[in-house]
């Protein structure tokens, strides 16, 4: 069965590859300024759950922290990246990784999980060699400012057949200007009620 959610993907993937769902491991692997337990230095940091299969951005916050300030045991702190938020699907075809659906997402620092919209973009990215060695044949990665922040062993479950889509977060949310149709959210992800997609 091809997984469409992270819980299924995590259960099905090679146990040795599950470390990539540990975002603290990922941050350390790529040399980011990060840690756990308590904040190392005064400054602005993003604090996130180390592993969160229900929705990788849930409970992530960007704020000012003081050195020594404790954070929950299952969270970690990391430097804050800025720039474009990109999600990319890769598939292994005849032993070669091919870049597939590539979208840019738009959100705010105050609400890191509820993206206003996603738009297909031209953005080439070389899958890191370590990820090319995993046993899964499909990977989705999330980047901010070119920095890899998340890995999923499943493809994007959003309506990627469209070039742009707008998640619906409340029943009174209106579509953007133009001609749009409302569709359901196939995976009922983190409170989404559906999407507006082009007619």
The mean per-residue pLDDT over the stretch 22-37 comes to: 98
Q: What is the pLDDT of residue 58?
A: 84
Q: Enumerate the domain spans of the chain.
A: 6-78
The mean per-residue pLDDT over the stretch 101-129 comes to: 96
By CB atoms closer than 10 A (0-12, 13-18, 19+), residue 70 is exposed
The mean per-residue pLDDT over the stretch 133-147 comes to: 97
Three-class SS state of 158: coil
Each residue's pLDDT tens digit, 70-100: 999 999 999 999 999 999 999 999 999 999 9
pLDDT over threshold 80, residue 57 = no
Q: What is the pLDDT of residue 36?
A: 97
Is the alpha carbon torsion for 111, 112, 113, 116 positive or negative?
positive
State the DSSP code for 174: P
pLDDT over threshold 80, residue 55 = no
20 is written with which tokens?
């990539």
Q: What is the pLDDT of residue 188?
A: 74
pLDDT over threshold 80, residue 56 = no
DSSP per residue, 49-90: ES--TT-TTTT-EEEEE-TT-B--TTEEEEPPP-S-EEEEEE
By CB atoms closer than 10 A (0-12, 13-18, 19+), residue 21 is buried
Burial pattern 23-53, b for ≥16 Cβ within 10 A else e, equals: bbebbeeeebebbbeebeeeeebbbbbbbbb
Q: What is the pLDDT of residue 43?
A: 98
3-state helix, strand, coil in the chain (%, to 5): 15, 35, 50
Q: Sort strands 96-106 and 85-93 into parallel, antiparallel or unpaired.
A: antiparallel
């Amino acid at each position: 069965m091809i997984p469409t959610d992270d819980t299924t993907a995590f259960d099905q993937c090679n146990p040795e590859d599950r470390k990539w769902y540990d975002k603290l491991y990922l941050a350390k692997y790529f040399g980011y300024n990060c840690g756990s337990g308590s904040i190392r230095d005064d400054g602005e940091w993003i604090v996130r759950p180390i592993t969160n299969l229900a929705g990788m951005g849930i409970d992530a916050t960007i704020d000012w922290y003081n050195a020594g300030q404790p954070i929950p045991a299952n969270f970690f702190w990391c430097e804050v990246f800025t720039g474009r938020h990109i999600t990319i699907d890769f598939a292994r075809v005849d032993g070669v990784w091919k870049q597939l659906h590539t979208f840019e997402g738009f959100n705010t620092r105050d609400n890191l999980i509820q993206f206003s919209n996603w738009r297909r973009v031209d953005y080439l990215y070389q899958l890191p060699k370590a990820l090319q060695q995993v046993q899964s044949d499909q990977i989705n990665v999330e980047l901010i400012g070119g920095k890899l922040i998340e890995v999923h062993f499943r493809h994007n479950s959003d309506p990627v057949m469209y070039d742009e889509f707008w998640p619906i977060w409340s029943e009174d949310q209106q579509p953007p200007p133009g001609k749009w149709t409302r569709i359901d959210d196939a995976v009922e992800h983190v409170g989404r009620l559906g999407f507006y997609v082009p007619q």
